[in-house]
């Protein structure tokens, strides 16, 4: 099983190598691929050193699967070339997510949509992934009508430059700015660019991707996405209106029995999801479960996950695991 990781030297690419190791994905040969400026550098995988190769050499090596985390423009240019060579591509960028001919997959929710004809598979946005993992079992049981979500997103969602900015600010050091404003001791209510409707691109990703993944355009979603000075772990306050009423204890039990979810909901002992608990974990943590007392059939919940793992690397590897299990690799 030859596996290529495209963007192997980046923040998410490095995490992908870690997740492949931890989950014991059966890699017989790793092909780390990156931009020309990184060719020749070395990455470590399972105690061995591998030299980074170019895109062309990555295709020539004929891996069974290539997991991309190299940005949208790179994916638009190179994913089709890998696919034409018979290589399955799992892409972590936004390039293919809303392409109607490409599947957008969260394994706990909709892995069954994958077929032998899928050569470019899109990994959703990190903030969408953790939300739909928690929403899917509730939708099947109670049918979701509307979701109002506000996110509290880590600087690692932006990348190394943002992490450096935060720590430079904490030290009082000068450095490159990933954001227009200071992020330390601040929150920035803008993730990605603003669109004509006043929402940001990140907010509209959550709207459109949720509908596509859950295969239900009737679910209405509205989002406010916010960057906070946390290094690792996205948090979300989610208000969910259902068509049918629910028993809170039964709903909590349903979530605790659903794949990929850990319920942390014990207010009397101050137990609730936090990035601190989610760090380096693959699960989605759910808590602060309570009725919205202002209208019927409505739930408030708090969802936290490690955005570099389940929000990116782990989800991509889980797609590969599913494809392997179903004989698609």
Domain of 141, CATH number, reads 3.30.360.10
**Mean pLDDT score of the chain:** 97
Cα separation of 180 and 184, whole Å?
A: 12
Q: What value does the mean pLDDT take over residues 292-304?
A: 98
The DSSP result for 98-116, as a single string, is T-TTSEE--HHHHGGG--T
For residue 298, give both structure tokens. 């409505």
Q: Taking a C-beta distance cutoff of 8 angstroms, is the pair 323, 88 a contact?
A: yes
Nearest-angstrom CA–CA distance, 14 and 28: 18
Q: How far, CA to CA in Å, does 102 sit from each of 62, 123, 181, 213?
A: 22, 10, 36, 11
For the chain, percent of residues with pLDDT exceeding 70:
100
Options 126, 139, 270, 279, the catalytic residue: 126
Quote the pLDDT of residue 133: 98
Q: What is the mean pLDDT of residues 300-327?
A: 98
* pLDDT of the residue at 294: 98
* 141 and 178 fall within a common domain: yes
What's the pLDDT score for residue 173?
97
Q: Are residues 103 and 198 in the same domain?
A: no
Interval 237-271: pLDDT, tens = 999 999 999 999 999 999 999 999 999 999 999 99
**Tokens 């017989």 identify what position?**
28
Q: pLDDT band at 135, cuts 50/70/90?
A: very high
Closest CA to 46 of 13, 24, 68, 65: 24
**Residues pairing with 88 in the sheet:** 65
The arithmetic mean of pLDDT across residues 33-49, rounded, is 94
pLDDT of 143-161, one tens digit each? Answer: 999 999 999 999 999 999 9
Structure letter (DSSP) for residue 123: -
Domain assignment of residue 61, given as a range: 2-124+312-325
HEC letters along 138-205: HHHHHCEEEEEEEEEECHHHCCHHHHHHHHHHHHCCCCCCCCCCCCCCCCECCCCCECCCCCEHHHHH
The reply to whether 165 and 112 lie within a common domain is: no
pTM: 0.96
Cα dihedral 219, 224, 226, 230 sign: negative
* 166-197 pLDDT tens trace: 999 999 999 999 999 999 999 999 999 999 99
| The total number of structural domains that make up the chain | 2
Q: What are phi and psi of 245, to 5 degrees?
A: -75, 165
| Average pLDDT estimate for 127-131 | 98
Residues 77 and 135 in one domain: no
Give the model's pLDDT for residue 9: 92
Residues 320 and 295 placed together within one structural domain of the fold: no
Residues 11 and 92 placed together within one structural domain of the fold: yes
Q: Are residues 135 and 80 in the same domain?
A: no
- Average pLDDT score over residue span 15-43: 96
Q: In the prediction, which pLDDT does 218 show? A: 98
Query: Does residue 172 share a domain with residue 134?
Result: yes
**144 and 275 co-located in one domain:** yes
**CA separation for the pair 179, 183 (Å, rounded):** 7
Per-residue pLDDT band for 112 (boundaries 50, 70, 90) equals very high
Residues 173 and 289 placed together within one structural domain of the fold: yes
pLDDT in tens, 44-79: 999 999 999 999 999 999 999 999 999 899 999 999
Q: One of 139, 234, 270, 279 is an active-site residue; which one?
A: 234
pLDDT of residue 188: 98
Kindly report which listed range (9-18, 190-199, 252-261, 285-294) carries the lowest average pLDDT score: 9-18
Residue range 18-24: average pLDDT? 97
Nearest 10 degrees: CA dihedral of 150, 259, 20, 164? 20
Q: Report d(CA 229, CA 6) in Å as an integer.
A: 28
User: Cα dist. 308→15, 191, 246, 274, 298 in Å?
Assistant: 7, 16, 33, 15, 30
139 counts as catalytic: no
Residue 157 shares a structural domain with residue 284: yes
Q: Are 157 and 282 in a shared domain?
A: yes
Identify the CATH number of the domain in which residue 31 sits: 3.40.50.720
Angstrom distance (rounded) from CA 321 to CA 318: 5
- Mean pLDDT on 106-122: 98
């Amino acid at each position: 099983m030859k596996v290529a990781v495209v963007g192997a030297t980046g923040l998410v690419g490095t995490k992908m190598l870690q997740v492949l190791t931890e989950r014991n994905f059966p890699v017989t040969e790793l092909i780390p691929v990156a931009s020309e400026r990184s060719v020749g550098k070395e990455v470590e995988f399972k105690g061995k050193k591998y030299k980074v190769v170019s895109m062309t050499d990555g295709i020539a090596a004929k891996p069974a699967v290539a997991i991309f985390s190299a940005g949208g423009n790179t994916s638009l240019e190179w994913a089709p070339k890998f696919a034409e060579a018979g290589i399955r591509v799992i892409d972590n960028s936004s390039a293919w997510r809303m392409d109607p001919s490409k599947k957008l997959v969260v394994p706990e929710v909709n892995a069954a949509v994958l077929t032998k004809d899928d050569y470019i598979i899109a990994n959703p946005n990190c903030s969408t992934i953790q939300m739909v993992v928690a929403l899917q079992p509730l939708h099947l049981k109670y049918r979701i009508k509307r979701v109002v979500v506000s996110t509290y997103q880590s600087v690692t969602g932006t990348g190394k430059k943002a992490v450096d900015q935060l720590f430079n600010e904490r030290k009082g050091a000068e450095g490159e700015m990933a954001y227009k404003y200071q992020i330390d001791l601040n929150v920035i209510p803008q993730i990605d660019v603003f669109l004509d409707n006043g929402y940001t691109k990140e907010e509209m990703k959550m709207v459109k991707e949720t509908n596509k993944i859950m295969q239900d355009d009737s679910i209405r979603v509205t989002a406010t996405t916010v960057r906070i000075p946390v290094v690792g772990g996205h948090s979300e306050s989610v208000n969910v209106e259902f068509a049918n009423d629910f028993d809170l204890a039964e709903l909590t039990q349903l979530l605790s029995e659903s794949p990929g979810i850990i319920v942390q909901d014990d207010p009397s002992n101050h137990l609730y999801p936090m990035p601190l608990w989610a760090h380096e974990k693959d699960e989605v943590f759910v808590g602060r479960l309570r009725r919205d007392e202002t209208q019927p059939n409505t739930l408030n919940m708090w969802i936290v996950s490690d955005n570099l793992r389940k929000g990116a690397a782990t989800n991509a590897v889980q797609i590969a695991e599913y494809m392997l299990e179903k004989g698609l690799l």
